[in-house]
Amino acid sequence: MRYAMVIDLSKCVGCNACAEACKIEHGTGFGVKYTRIEEVELGSFPDVKKAYVPLQCMHCEDPECLKVCPTGATYKAEGGVVLIDQDKCSGCKYCMVACPYGARFFYEDKARPKDLPRMDSEEGRKGAVEKCDLCIDRLRVGREPACVEVCPTRARIFGDADDEKSEVHELISSGRAKALKPEHKPSIYYIW
Amino acid sequence: MDMRAFRQKEFGGKVASDLLLSGAGSSMYILYYSLFLDRLNEASPAMILSGFAIVLIGLFFLLSELGRPRNFWRMAKNWRRSWMARGVIFNSLYLLDGLGIALAYALGYEGIIEILGALGLAFAALVLIYPVMLLRDAEDIELWRRAGSSIVILLSALSTGATIISALSLFIQPSVLKVSLEISMALILATLLASSLYSSSLGRAEELEREAKKTFNSILVPYTISLAIYALAIFSSQPSLQGGIALISSFIAIYGSLEFRLNLLGSGLHPPIVKEDLFKK
């Protein structure tokens, strides 16, 4: 099984619902967005278009962040999801430097509010790196990631890329869905 | 960010200081020990141990970046994959070796000093190489992986180490002042040549090339001043004047090396995430 997501940019309206749902789901601090929307201007005047490109951790097949992590805090879980063990993270930020997508964030000691959910390891969270975990807790109980569930235009399609009957498999294998920086073999694809 | 290259901002002044001091400290040890390889009994314990002390100061910068000392030891776990983990091990081995040498000097065990001294050379070489490998390991940042960057990092570390030896020799062992001045001058000249040759081979068309050019040019002015001052020192006949000049020049060289590392880290550009070809039908 390999989890993958296809984002249809022609459907994305840049409403930031995915980014906000992610913040609520993970209780991230001020200024930290595991999912962010980049605005891209295309063409030149007068033929100009604007596209919204949601960016997040790409859960690469051979992640640079995992390779450089000195403590082994970054690891691959079921379905190829790249996770961080907060208790092991030393906060060296080497993974942030190595990540080709700028998808990781660092929490200083006092940045995280104390009463938010999923604070399973307060000690480990201090001075540690965090990022999108593809809502692994939701996946384990058969639900979709929060960003997929909340998208009003259904721009995000999620599934098992190894399942030949799945929509994501069809989109990826047909070549309609493209990867950003494909040399890193990401699990998030885009359709334009 | 959009369709432009984006810059790493995580590694800053503290990491640059650690990279500088670990390179300079290990270089000091290698150069000084090599001078006394066949007559170790004439080597000054203070000069030998200062190579370890400088690496230790560098580690304090790293520890202040990490926040808690225990994070340093935790970083050694993934040594099979990560150069940062290997760096922690190399630094620890090198410093333990230094501690052993200090104890052996205190207790007067000459045989042990020779064994640990030779081992220290190997560990110092690993500490010297580790910053280069650490930067090369960030595969998405092209500038850090270039051979030119690696060569200038190594040469500037060696030249900084040599200049510190010449500055310290004024106070600790004046007999090595002249030879250390000559070594410093040769290494500064080599760094200057490597940096300027590499800089002149770069174009100005792309952002990455412009950043690289700026980075390599940043070492040229302080190193040229340092070289000129060393030339004055070598031609001067008065040892006290030579020493004073060496001290000033050493500070300038350290500044140049730090400036180069800060610029190298600051110009760590990732290629654009979103490219035009995504939007081609």
The nearest alpha carbon in chain A to B71 belongs to: A90
For residue A116, pLDDT beyond 60 = no
Q: Of A40, A99, A190, which is closest to B2 when you measure between CB atoms? A: A40
Whether the predicted pLDDT of A115 surpasses 60:
no
Question: Which of B11, B65, B78 is closest, CB to CB, to A97?
Answer: B11
| Mean pLDDT over the full length of chain A | 88
Distance between CA atoms of residues B43 and A167, nearest Å? 73
Whichever domain contains A10, its CATH number is: 3.30.70.20
From A115's Cα to the closest Cα of chain B, the distance in A is 23
Q: How does pLDDT run along chain B (281 residues), one tens digit per residue? A: 446 788 999 999 999 999 999 999 999 999 999 999 888 888 999 999 999 999 999 999 988 888 777 778 788 888 888 999 999 999 999 999 999 999 999 999 989 999 999 999 999 999 999 999 999 999 999 999 999 999 999 999 999 999 999 989 888 998 898 899 889 999 999 999 999 999 888 877 788 888 888 899 999 999 999 888 888 877 777 777 777 888 888 899 999 999 999 999 999 999 889 887 788 76
Domain region containing A73: 3-113+121-191
Q: Specify which residues A7 forms β-bridges with.
A: A156, A190
What is d(CA B243, CA B276) in angstroms, rounded to the nearest whole number? Answer: 59
pLDDT of residue B145: 92
Closest among B134, B138, B230 to B187, alpha carbons compared = B230
Instruction: Report d(CA B134, CA B265) in Å as an integer.
Output: 12
- Is residue B271 less than 8 Å (CB to CB) from chain A? yes
| CA A158 from centre of chain | 12
Q: Work out the minimum CA distance from B91 to partner chain A, whole angstroms.
A: 14
Specify the pLDDT at position A118: 44
The reply to whether B77 touches chain A by the CB within 8 Å rule is yes
- Distance (Å, rounded) from C-alpha B63 to C-alpha A157? 43
Residue B93, amino acid: L
Reduce the secondary structure of B131-194 to three states and give it as a string: HHHHHHCCCCCHHHHCHHHHHHHHHHHHHHHHHHHHHHHHHHCHHHHHHHHHHHHHHHHHHHHH
Smallest Cα distance from A124 to chain B, Å: 11
Q: What is the pLDDT of residue B126?
A: 97
CB contact under 8 A, B84 and A70: yes
- Distances in Å between the alpha carbon of B142 and those of B95, B191, B267? 32, 21, 10
Cα nearest neighbour of B6 on chain A: A102
Cβ of residue B171 closer than 8 Å to a chain A Cβ: no
Mean pLDDT of A111-115: 48
Q: Complex ipTM above 0.95?
A: no
Partner-chain contact B75 A90, CB within 8 Å: yes
CB contact under 8 A, B82 and A67: yes
Closest partner CB to B273 (pick from A41, A92, A180):
A180
Of B67 and A21, the structure prediction assigns the larger pLDDT to: A21
- Which residues in B lie closer than 8 A to residue A127 (C-beta atoms)? 66-68, 71
Q: Touching check for B12 and chain A: CB below 8 Å?
A: no
Query: Residues 131..160 of B with a Cβ closer than 8 Å to A: which?
Result: 134, 137-141
Which pLDDT value is given to residue A124?
40
Give the model confidence (pLDDT) of A80-94 as tens digits.
999 998 888 888 999
Question: What is the model's pLDDT at position B233?
Answer: 78
B80 close to A (CB below 8 A): no
> What whole-number distance in Å separates Cα of residue A132 and Cα of residue A139?
13
B275: which chain A residues are within 8 Å (Cβ-Cβ)? 180
Q: Which residue of B has its CA nearest to A41?
A: B2
Judged against a pLDDT cut of 60, whether residue A117 lies above it is answered with no
Q: Are A153 and A11 in contact (CB under 8 A)?
A: yes
* pLDDT for position A67: 92
Model confidence band, residue A109 (pLDDT cutoffs 50, 70, 90): low
Residue of B nearest to A129 (CA): B10
**Domain count within chain A:** 1
Give the mean model confidence (pLDDT) for residues A59-83.
Answer: 94
How high is the pLDDT of residue B40? 84
A109: which 2 tokens? 């000691």
Chain segment A136-147, per-residue pLDDT in tens: 999 999 999 999
